[in-house]
């Protein structure tokens, strides 16, 4: 479902070139629960951003559902992001002025799915119920604990029913007990809906939940 072949990505800082990814080859199937590990600066976020169509490779192919994203227009990339991919971040990235319900609703404004108001409300409530946030639906993010905020982010990532969820160090800002609850919630969703998950982490306990661990070192996958 996702294939990366010879993916390279460079950043330029003044005169110097940073080779963030140096020829990545990976293949990910539907329903996989995959962990990307590696030291800080090894290229984890760069790789997730490329798989998530937030960025394009300088070289190589990224094929998602038989479509090579390197050739696509910005509009088409935005369309793929909105419909096929959900994102979860280390720092939750919730909108502080919106309440929990509105934060989860947000990605639905970019797509036509659940155009009928009742269906849309039902979908949002189903997810709020799934992540057990019914009691805080009208609250703002800063009234919630870290674990609750990340559960909002998970519900927001899933609301469009994406095939792929990308999570960049989703437990890094949480204590170990809460982190475990979050990864277990992601795993349950992965099993229940066959959603493909790719998450990066530093934490050996968190990576132990993965079907497959990809180890990045200096922009290359270590075998
Ligand atoms: N926007 C950017 N501009 C310049 N260099 C960057 C940028 N983003 C990442 N890098 C560099 O690319 C390399 C990989 O970074 P990153 O993908 O963020 O690694 P990780 O997520 O594993 O910490 C690092 O050397 C980092 O400094
Ligand atoms: Mg990173």
DSSP 220: E
> Could you tell me the CA-to-CA distances from 63 to 115, 191, 210 in Å, in that order?
29, 24, 22
- Domain-located, residue 177: yes
**Number of the ligand 1 atom closest to the C-alpha atom of 39:** 22
- Domain-located, residue 105: yes
* Residue 113 pLDDT exceeds 80: no
**Number of the ligand 1 atom closest to the C-alpha atom of 46:** 17
Structure pTM? 0.94
> Could you tell me the CA-to-CA distances from 147 to 7, 13, 131, 174 in Å, in that order?
34, 36, 11, 7
- Domain-located, residue 127: yes
- The total number of structural domains in the chain stands at 1
**pLDDT (tens digit per residue) in 25-53:** 999 999 999 999 999 999 999 999 999 99
Around ligand 1, the residues with Cβ closer than 6 Å are 11, 13, 18, 20, 38, 40-46
**Number of the ligand 1 atom closest to the C-alpha atom of 21:** 14
Q: In angstroms, what is the span from residue 71 Cα to ligand 1's centroid?
A: 23
Comparing C-alpha atoms, which of 202, 216, 223, 209 is closest to residue 33?
209
- Domain-located, residue 175: yes
**pLDDT (tens digit per residue) in 175-222:** 999 999 999 999 999 999 999 999 999 999 999 999 999 999 999 999
- Domain-located, residue 207: yes
Q: In angstroms, what is the span from residue 22 Cα to ligand 1's centroid?
A: 13
CATH (domain of 40): 3.40.50.300
Q: In angstroms, what is the span from residue 91 Cα to ligand 2's centroid?
A: 11
- What is the H or E stretch that residue 33 is in? strand 33-37
**Number of the ligand 1 atom closest to the C-alpha atom of 47:** 17
* Residue 88 pLDDT exceeds 90: yes
* Residue 223 pLDDT exceeds 80: no
> By alpha-carbon position, which residue is closest to atom 5 of ligand 1?
11
Ligand nearest to the CA of 46: 1
> Could you tell me the CA-to-CA distances from 5 to 25, 31, 76, 122, 163 in Å, in that order?
5, 20, 21, 40, 21
Cβ burial of 192 (10 Å; 0-12, 13-18, 19+) is: exposed
- 97 forms beta bridges with none
Per DSSP, the three-state class of 138 is coil
- Domain-located, residue 223: no
Which residue segment(s) compose the domain that 58 sits in?
2-218
């Amino acid at each position: 479902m996702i294939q990366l072949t010879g993916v390279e990505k460079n950043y330029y800082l003044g005169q110097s070139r940073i080779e963030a990814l140096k020829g990545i080859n990976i293949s990910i199937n539907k329903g996989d629960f995959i962990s990307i590990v590696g030291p800080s600066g090894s290229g984890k976020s760069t790789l997730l951003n490329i798989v998530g169509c937030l960025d394009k490779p300088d070289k190589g192919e990224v094929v998602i559902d038989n479509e090579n994203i390197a050739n696509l227009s910005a509009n088409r990339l935005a369309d793929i992001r909105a419909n096929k991919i959900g994102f979860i971040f280390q720092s939750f990235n919730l909108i502080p002025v919106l309440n929990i319900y509105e934060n989860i609703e947000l990605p639905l404004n970019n797509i036509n799915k659940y155009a009928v108001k009742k269906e849309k409300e039902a979908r949002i409530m189903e997810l709020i119920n799934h992540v057990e946030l019914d009691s805080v639906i009208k609250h703002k993010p800063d009234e919630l604990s870290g674990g609750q905020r990340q559960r909002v982010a998970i519900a927001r990532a899933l609301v469009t029913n994406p095939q792929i969820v990308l999570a960049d160090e989703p437990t890094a800002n949480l204590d170990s007990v809460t982190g475990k609850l979050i990864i277990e919630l992601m795993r349950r969703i992965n099993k229940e809906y066959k959603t493909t998950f790719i998450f990066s982490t530093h934490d050996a306990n968190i990576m132990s939940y993965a079907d497959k661990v990809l180890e990045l070192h200096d922009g290359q996958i270590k075998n």
